[in-house]
Each structure stands twice: as structure tokens, then as C-alpha cells.
Amino acid sequence: MQISANSPCPCGLPQRYSQCCGRYHDGQAAPDAEALMRSRYSAYVSKDVDYLLRSWHPDTRPATLLLDDAPGQRTQWLGLAVKRHQLTGAETAEVEFVARYRIGGGSAVKMTEHSRFQRIDGRWYYLDALG
């Protein structure tokens, strides 16, 4: 899905995409782990695989990431709710969130995740999800 600069940002904050997650997708460093997590959600919405891989920690980054939908099984992202953002060290943080989506014509699904992030050379990266 293509997101225009003046569209509301998919991450749920009351800003236009270009003033919110779009600037991180264009290369600006996210100021904190929550902003990075929100920008990654927006990247899933727009299927920006390059950004997702760039913002993934080098120790846990997959070699490839496929977001192609099977015929008739298009993923529709419905919303994001951040439950908690917490610094856990000088260069580490955790974010708990709920993302809602639907595949094809199916029922809405809630995905709850507790993610860890690490800052390296001034940039935040998604490390992994806690069990």
C-alpha cells in the first residue's frame, strides 16, 4: 500500500505521514524505541521491506523478508496501540504494543508483542520479541 505524504500516519499518531513515520523511512534516526516501533508498523502497512530490514538489529536481522500476500489473502492493518515504552538501560528499551490486522475477508486479529530495542551509534534497532 502506497502512503502519500499528506495521509494520516498509519501508526495512529495525529500527524501526517511525512511529519511522522515518513521521515524515519526517508533516513532520519528515530529519537526513541517507541518512534522506531511505530515507524516499523507503518513500514508493514506500506510493505517497505527495505526499511524493516535496515531498522532490524544486525545480530537478529533475517537475510530476507517476504511480505507478499497470497492471492485473496491481502493483509489489512487496522490499527496500533502502544501499551508501554520503557528504557531498560542507557542504550536499550522495550515497547509493548497491540497491532490489529485482518487477512482476506477474515476476522480481525490482535497481535500483542513485547519487543526489545537497542541503540547503536545513535540509531535505534529492533532486536527481538520477548516470549
The CATH number linked to 82 is 3.10.450.50
- Per-residue confidence (pLDDT) for residue 2, from 0 to 100: 75
Residue 1 lies in a domain: no
Alpha helices by DSSP H, the chain: 21-25, 33-46, 49-54
State the cell numbers at 27.
533516513
Rounded Cα gap, residues 67 and 50, in angstroms: 11
Buried residues in 65-80 as b, exposed as e (16+ CB within 10 A)? eeeeeeeeeebebeeb
Total domains in the chain come to 1
Give the helix/strand (H/E) hosting 84.
strand 75-89
pLDDT at 69: 66
Q: Residue 5: inside a domain, yes or no?
A: no
pLDDT mean by block of 10 residues, the chain; 131 residues: 88 96 97 98 95 98 85 86 97 98 90 97 97 67
Residue 92 lies in a domain: yes
In a domain, 6, yes or no: no
Instruction: Output the nine-digit C-alpha cell for 16.
Output: 501526517
Question: Within a 10 A sphere around the Cβ of 48, how many other Cβ atoms?
Answer: 20
Domain with 28, as residue range(s), is 17-129
The answer to whether residue 60 sits within a structural domain is yes
Tell me what pLDDT residue 131 has.
67
